[in-house]
Amino acid sequence: MEKPAITDYPIHDLIARRWSPRSFDARPLSDEQVRTLLEAARWAPSCFNEQPWRYLVAGREQKDAFDTMLGCLAEMNQQWAKNAAVLMISVAATQFARNGKPNRHAFHDVGLASAQLTLQATAMDLAVHQMAGFDRDRARQVYAIPDEYEPVAALAIGYPGEPAALPETFRERELAKRSRKSPAQIAYADTWGESL
């Protein structure tokens, strides 16, 4: 299903077409496709070019590995993310490699990398649904993530499926209108809160 953004101003088709479905069809992703998505993430900009992003990756074909990652997701997310072709967990390096100081831009830069991955996926007719709903401690333990790295978000990736394939609660949300704050609510001029 397509659910393009209804925009106030024209934007690039890729940005308008990107959305976060919960229904995924059964088609798997090739190794090449997964590596292309990660390549898009790899070329994101970052503070001091530190590239603080890391990705844990599990394809549905590798059942044990996939189930292990699925088990890190919140129950609610597991219900639909189990049909994704690939699951990922993004992780941030929280210290600068150059001097060991805290990198307060790490999450920002991981978000940039995931945004690039997501738009690359859209260009490949794939969909990405990102999730805050996962157990960070469990992920840290299962994957032996070192202390100086912080799990950021989980990602469900695959070909979008039909809303009809979803249980009722998710189906409603799948079909719901997409909404955003108005342009005036997000951009200010001169003083805080004064719309541009």
Ligand X SMILES: Cc1cc2nc3c(=O)[nH]c(=O)nc-3n(C[C@H](O)[C@H](O)[C@H](O)COP(=O)(O)O)c2cc1C
**Member of 15, 16, 17, 20 binding ligand X (CB under 6 A):** 20
Q: Point out which span in 28-36, 51-59, 127-135, 161-169 binds ligand X (CB under 6 A).
A: 127-135
- Judged by CB under 6 A, the chain residues 69 through 108 that form the site for ligand X are 77
Q: What is d(CA 159, CA 162) in angstroms, rounded to the nearest whole number?
A: 10
Q: Give the closest residue to 90 by CA, choosing from 157, 154, 158, 20.
A: 154
Query: Which class for 176: exposed (0-12), middle (13-18), buried (19 or more C-beta within 10 A)?
Result: exposed
Half-sphere exposure for 72 (CA within 13 Å, toward CB): 30
- 121 lies in the binding site for ligand X (CB under 6 A): no
Query: Which of residues 33, 94, 112, 133 is near ligand X by CB under 6 A?
Result: 133
Of 66 and 80, CB closest to ligand X: 80
- Pick the closer one to ligand X by CB: 19 or 24: 19
- Position 130 contacts ligand X (CB under 6 A): yes
Near ligand X by CB under 6 A, which window of 32-40, 98-106, 129-137, 141-149? 129-137
Of 34, 72, 127, 131, which lies in the binding site for ligand X, with binding defined by CB under 6 A? Answer: 131
Q: How many other CB atoms sit within 10 Å of the CB of residue 121? A: 24
Rounded-to-integer distance, Cα 166 and Cα 22, Å: 8
Q: How far is the CB of 13 from ligand X (least distance, A)?
A: 15
Burial grade of 53 (CB within 10 A; 0-12, 13-18, 19 or more): buried
29 versus 153: smaller Cβ distance to ligand X: 153
Q: Coil, helix or strand for 36?
A: helix
Q: Which stretches of the chain bind ligand X, using CB under 6 A? A: 19-20, 77, 130-133, 153, 178
